[in-house]
């Protein structure tokens, strides 16, 4: 599946895409049909990652990829975060809070409660950093130095359902993959993963059971071997196990399916400094289950993601080495990786990919344009549509019965929120509050219903009602009061 196109062809495709801005292209049903420009940056932005929040909003972090250890560093590379709700992108938020440091290689994770974790590295201080968003107070916490003097390359982060934080990163030259976790609010010691040689190029994912999985490569006797370990908040890292798809791995990534099966994606480089590689994916627990995505595509960062149905999605820089002309995307929605879709862009290097709990998958990538500027794009399988509460809630009360046995019937009605997608919802949930007490679930109704009645036997109850929309992922919207 070697693709050969002239440079003029790719420049023409990119020009059409940039002029389109946000567009819907006539691809197949298994393609990323919904594309939008969500941000821009000064300088050569070549690193992005993305994550869906529980409500279906897509968040994208981006920044400079960093520098080779021997090259000079600049002082104006902050980390930016934008959110996209399917209609517009937010104003970029400077996560690093300043433009006077050379922050680079950001990653993002969001758990089911809506905690947002953003991490990045900094070469001058040889440190990795973390910043958290609290979904209850809706505020960002301060910047935390997770580790100093242990390396700063490609930090990755995961957040479990209880809000515990897991981070990994590696050193650039001397080698060494490191981890640190914050369990119940307390940071553990920095942990170096066992190795027999130069270790680097790791990736981390967390499963539905809150187990964290890590893959990396370990150079032993002149060649790299794939390594794997896992942990949770209850137990530490397991002893490393070797894995191999074919040949020598490069830039592996990992994802966990809804039934807690680990899949790995990796380039296969015949030579250490090869510009191009075959791209493979494999079931880590059943190595005979593997797919070849393509050949002579790239040696950079094939990222894999499992969706809520257990299907696999892969994104990889298009073009060899650090150059590239966009991102390739493929999936096995038809039970095989049949086609590669090109998302045009200039030198993206690191792309992001994530799936929500409702069957949607999105990819983020950056593109260096003319001059000293870059643009940030996203593309998704389905329209991005956060789950919002129903609108126009209305209440009427009917009284019946004799005085001492008065019955109150609360007739509740509402309208569909036009911003919600019908196929994202399972229904609505009614909450009740009795005499100023806590809100409690009272009844559930299907998505096709826009009214319900509640009968109360005592007239002395002072009930209040609220309603939420419930997504297929289980997420509940904010309450709308009657």
Q: Is 309 exposed, middle or buried (0-12, 13-18, 19+ CB in 10 A)?
A: exposed
Give residue 90's pLDDT band: very low, low, confident or very high (50, 70, 90).
very high
- Higher-scoring residue by pLDDT: 416, 372: 416
- Section 476-481 average pLDDT: 95
Nearest C-alpha neighbor of 479 from the set 431, 435, 436: 431
Q: Per the structure block, which two tokens stand in for 125? A: 């201080």
Q: What is the average pLDDT score of the chain?
A: 88
pLDDT > 50? residue 417: yes
pLDDT > 50? residue 7: no
pLDDT > 70? residue 73: no
pLDDT for res 405? 59
Instruction: Please list, in sequence order, all residues whose beta carbon lies within 8 angstroms of the beta carbon of residue 448, skipping any fewer than 6 positions away.
Output: none
Minimum mean pLDDT among 56-70, 133-147, 314-328, 408-422: which range?
Answer: 56-70
Which range among 403-407, 443-447, 458-462 has the greatest average pLDDT? 443-447
| b/e per residue 97-117 (b: at least 16 CB within 10 A) | eeeebbbbbbbbbbbbebbbb
pLDDT for res 18? 39
Give residue 1's pLDDT band: very low, low, confident or very high (50, 70, 90).
very low
Q: Is 8 exposed, middle or buried (0-12, 13-18, 19+ CB in 10 A)?
A: exposed
Give residue 323's pLDDT band: very low, low, confident or very high (50, 70, 90).
confident
- Higher-scoring residue by pLDDT: 381, 457: 381
pLDDT for res 219? 84
Dihedrals phi, psi of 297, to nearest 5 degrees: -95, -65
pLDDT for res 353? 98
Instruction: Please list, in sequence order, all residues whose beta carbon lies within 8 angstroms of the beta carbon of residue 311, skipping any fewer than 6 positions away.
Output: 331, 332, 333
The alpha helices in 115-257, defined as continuous H runs, are none
What 3-state DSSP class applies to 424? Answer: helix
Nearest C-alpha neighbor of 232 from the set 181, 192, 170: 181
Beta bridge partners of 235: none
Give residue 273's pLDDT band: very low, low, confident or very high (50, 70, 90).
low
In this predicted model, what pLDDT tens digit does every residue of 112-170 receive, in sequence order? 999 999 999 998 889 999 999 999 999 999 999 999 999 999 999 999 999 999 999 99
Q: Per the structure block, which two tokens stand in for 386? A: 């956060």
Instruction: Please list, in sequence order, all residues whose beta carbon lies within 8 angstroms of the beta carbon of residue 6, skipping any fewer than 6 positions away.
Output: none
Instruction: Please list, in sequence order, all residues whose beta carbon lies within 8 angstroms of the beta carbon of residue 197, skipping any fewer than 6 positions away.
Output: 175, 218, 219, 220, 221
Minimum mean pLDDT among 18-27, 37-46, 72-81, 229-238: which range?
Answer: 18-27
Length of the chain: 482
- Section 322-347 average pLDDT: 91
Q: Per the structure block, which two tokens stand in for 143? A: 């910047």
Structural domains of the chain sorted by starting position, each given as residue range(s) with its CATH number in brackets? 7-380 (2.120.10.10), 391-481 (2.60.40.10)
pLDDT for res 44? 84
CA distances from 447 to 102, 132, 199, 429 (A): 49, 34, 51, 10
- Section 374-386 average pLDDT: 95
- Section 458-462 average pLDDT: 64
Give residue 440's pLDDT band: very low, low, confident or very high (50, 70, 90).
very high
pLDDT for res 458? 65
pLDDT > 90? residue 400: no
pLDDT > 50? residue 101: yes
CA distances from 142 to 108, 129, 139, 152, 183 (A): 16, 10, 10, 19, 18
Q: Give the separation between CA 177 and CA 156, rounded to whole angstroms.
A: 11
Taking phi over 0 as left and psi of -120 to 50 as alpha, with beta for the rest, 258 belongs to alpha
pLDDT for res 290? 94
- Higher-scoring residue by pLDDT: 42, 142: 142
| b/e per residue 289-303 (b: at least 16 CB within 10 A) | eebebbebbbbbbbb
Percent of the chain with pLDDT over 70: 89
pLDDT for res 15? 39
- Section 17-39 average pLDDT: 66
pLDDT > 50? residue 105: yes
Whether 106 contacts 79, CB under 8 Å: yes
Nearest C-alpha neighbor of 367 from the set 46, 63, 133: 46
Q: Give the separation between CA 167 and CA 252, rounded to whole angstroms.
A: 17
Q: What is the DSSP letter of 192?
A: E
Q: Per the structure block, which two tokens stand in for 354? A: 């994530």
- pTM for the complete prediction? 0.89
Q: What is the DSSP letter of 350?
A: B
- Section 444-464 average pLDDT: 84
Terminal CA-to-CA distance of the chain, rounded, Å? 58
Give residue 34's pLDDT band: very low, low, confident or very high (50, 70, 90).
very high
Distance, C-alpha 325 to centroid of its chain: 23
Query: Within 13 Å and on the Cβ side, how many CA atoms surround 207?
Result: 18
Dihedrals phi, psi of 19, to nearest 5 degrees: -70, -30
Whether 152 contacts 169, CB under 8 Å: yes
pLDDT for res 95? 97
What 3-state DSSP class applies to 163? Answer: coil
In this predicted model, what pLDDT tens digit does every residue of 198-240 receive, in sequence order? 888 999 999 999 999 999 999 876 788 999 999 999 999 999 9
pLDDT for res 389? 96
pLDDT for res 143? 97
Q: Give the separation between CA 307 and CA 356, rounded to whole angstroms.
A: 7
Taking phi over 0 as left and psi of -120 to 50 as alpha, with beta for the rest, 135 belongs to alpha
What DSSP letter does each residue of 59-99 carry, written as one string? EEEEEB----TTS---S-B--EEEEE-SS-BPPPEETTS-S
pLDDT > 60? residue 415: yes
pLDDT for res 196? 77
- Section 319-335 average pLDDT: 90
pLDDT > 80? residue 67: no
Nearest C-alpha neighbor of 215 from the set 204, 225, 199: 204
pLDDT for res 448? 93
pLDDT for res 222? 73
**Tokens 């567009």 belong to residue:** 23
């Amino acid at each position: 599946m070697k693709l050969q196109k002239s440079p003029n062809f790719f420049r023409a495709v990119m020009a059409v895409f940039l002029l389109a801005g946000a567009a819907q292209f006539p691809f197949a049903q298994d393609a990323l049909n919904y594309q939008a420009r969500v941000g821009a940056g000064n300088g050569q932005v070549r690193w992005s990652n993305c994550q869906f929040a529980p409500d279906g909003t897509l968040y994208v972090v981006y920044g400079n990829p960093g520098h080779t250890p021997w090259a000079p560093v600049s002082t104006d590379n902050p980390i930016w975060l934008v959110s996209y709700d399917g209609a517009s992108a937010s104003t970029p938020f400077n996560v690093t809070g300043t433009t006077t440091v050379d922050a680079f290689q950001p990653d993002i994770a969001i758990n089911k409660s809506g905690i947002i974790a953003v991490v990045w590295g900094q070469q001058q201080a040889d440190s990795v950093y973390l910043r958290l968003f609290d979904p209850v107070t809706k505020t960002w916490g301060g910047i935390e130095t997770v580790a100093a003097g242990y390396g700063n390359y490609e930090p990755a982060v995961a957040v479990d359902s209880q809000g515990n934080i897991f981070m990994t990163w590696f050193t650039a030259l001397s080698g060494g993959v490191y981890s640190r976790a914050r369990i119940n609010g307390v940071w553990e010691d920095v942990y170096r993963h066992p190795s027999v040689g130069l270790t680097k190029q790791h990736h981390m994912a967390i499963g539905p059971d809150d187990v964290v999985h890590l893959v990396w490569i370990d150079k032993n006797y002149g060649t790299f071997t794939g390594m794997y370990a896992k942990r949770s908040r209850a137990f530490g890292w397991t002893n490393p196990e070797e894995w191999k798809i074919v040949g020598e791995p490069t830039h592996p990534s990992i994802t966990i399916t809804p039934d807690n099966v680990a899949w790995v994606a990796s380039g296969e480089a015949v030579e250490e400094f090869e510009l191009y590689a075959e791209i493979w994916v494999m079931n880590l627990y059943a190595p005979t289950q593997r797919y070849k995505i393509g050949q002579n595509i790239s040696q950079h960062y094939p990222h894999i993601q499992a969706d809520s149905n257990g299907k696999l999605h892969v994104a990889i820089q298009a073009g060899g080495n650090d150059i590239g002309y966009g991102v390739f995307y493929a999936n096995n929605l038809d039970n095989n990786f049949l086609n590669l879709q090109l998302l045009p862009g200039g030198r993206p290097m690191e792309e992001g990919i994530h799936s929500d709990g409702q069957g949607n998958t999105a990819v983020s990538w950056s593109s260096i344009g003319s001059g000293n500027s870059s643009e940030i794009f996203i593309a998704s399988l389905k329209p991005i549509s956060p789950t919002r509460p129903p609108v126009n809630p209305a209440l009427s009360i009917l009284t019946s019965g004799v005085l001492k046995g008065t019955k109150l019937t609360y007739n509740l009605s509402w309208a569909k929120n036009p911003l919600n997608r019908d196929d994202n919802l399972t229904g609505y949930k009614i909450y009740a509050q009795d005499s100023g007490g806590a809100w409690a679930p009272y009844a559930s109704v299907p998505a096709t219903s826009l009214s319900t009645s509640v009968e109360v036997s005592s007239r002395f109850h002072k009930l209040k009602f609220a309603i939420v929309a419930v997504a297929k992922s289980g997420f509940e919207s904010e309450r709308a009061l009657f």
